[in-house]
Amino acid sequence: MQHLVPFSGVVETPNLLMGVKAVWGRSRESVMCFGSRGDPAKKDKGHFSQARRTAERAMERPYFITIGGGEQVPDELDGRVVELVRATGVFGETIAFVRDDELRLRLSQWPVAIVVSEVYSVDGEPRLVEDLGFPDRRILANAYDSVIRDEEQIHRLWEALKDRQITRRWEVKLPPGFHDPGKVQMFGTHYPTLTSSSKEGKRLWMLSLKAERDPVLRRHVMVLNRSQHGGVIVCEACGFADDKDAMFDAHHLRPLAVGERKSRPDDLAVLCPTCHRWAHAKAEDKLSPVPVEEISNQRS
């Protein structure tokens, strides 16, 4: 089930927006790539500068908006607000984070990247000029290889988008085992991982389980689920229904062990106990539970 939330439900104020970046398409993996401003062969400081700067800014303003632009953008995305993404402090070489070989080849001209932990599609992918009322596309000036923030323009963009519905793109998955360290950190040919057998992994996993049992958040998602199904609660995986909320669990679609954060109702799914256990026990990677839409197929 898709959970629609208002833009301002995720980005509560324009002060949380790092800026905008021009992109040639929708996200396929959890990265945002940049060009080198140094010597790629030597991998000097300038080589990583764009990615490093973005990672540093993410510590204060983690979100930015992607807008279709540049020579490679298809006509149907040109000038449209495509996605909202949340940046982490993890940066390094693009090849360390991208798994798909075809995508790696296409991104070769952008050899450095940051990992993004959340990707949201924007309802209707509104056009800057025709739909949002901007007089021009000046907001994209210099945003083709950087995340650019013009104070006045960003406030205007936030106002134009604050009531728009956005949807979390759960199919854009983090690299297997990825753990957000919550700080700026560079990686070369690998990325930060966390295993449940490590001391830190066990601690964070216990925090994840505790958060899933948070009675306030659990109650909220149960009420929302009930309101959508005529007074009964329905498992989002198998369709089992009952009028008692004690028959269901609130499941984090991405465990807090990936990186501690503030959970919202759209971060959770309502599952029956069997589907909830299936999501975790059948996952190859404890940090990436079996997607809700796949559980029913696997069980059958």
Whether residue 205 is found in the same domain as residue 176 = no
Instruction: Looking at the structure, tell me whether residues 85 and 9 fall in a common domain.
Output: yes
The CATH number of whichever domain residue 33 belongs to comes to 3.10.590
Indicate whether 27 and 57 sit together in one domain: yes
Both 140 and 236 in one domain: the answer is no
Which of 130, 157, 187 terminates a domain? The answer is 187
Give domain status of residue 144, yes or no: yes
Residues 53 and 91 in one domain: yes
Q: Do 255 and 126 share a structural domain?
A: no
pLDDT at 232 over 60: yes
Between 83-97, 123-137, 232-246, 248-262, the lowest mean confidence (pLDDT) is in 248-262
Asked if pLDDT for residue 284 goes beyond 60, the answer is yes
Task: Give the domain-ending residue among 133, 158, 187.
Answer: 187
Domain count for the chain, please give it. Answer: 2
- The mean pLDDT of 102-113, rounded to a whole number, is 91
CA–CA gap between residue 221 and residue 244 (Å, rounded) = 14
Do residue 139 and residue 210 come from a single domain?
Answer: no
Q: Classify residue 29: in a domain, yes or no.
A: yes
Answer positive or negative: Cα dihedral of 78, 80, 82, 87: positive
pLDDT the model gives residue 114: 96
Domain boundaries, position 148: 4-187
% of the chain surpassing 90 pLDDT: 65
Please report the pLDDT score of residue 278 as a whole number.
94
pTM for this predicted structure: 0.82
- Residues 37-61 have a mean pLDDT of 92
How far apart are alpha carbons 224 and 265 in whole angstroms? 9
Lowest mean pLDDT among 31-35, 104-108, 149-153, 173-177: 173-177
- Average pLDDT (269-275) is 95
247 and 145 belong to one structural domain? no
Residue burial 28-40, b: 16+ Cβ < 10 Å; e: rest:
bbbbbbbbbbeee
pLDDT tens track for 173-223: 888 878 888 899 998 767 776 555 555 555 555 666 665 566 778 888 999
3-state secondary structure of 67: strand
Residues 83, 171 share a domain: yes
Question: Does the pLDDT of residue 1 top 70, yes or no?
Answer: no
Using CA atoms, how far residue 284 sits from 19, 170, 204, 258, in Å, is 36, 17, 18, 15
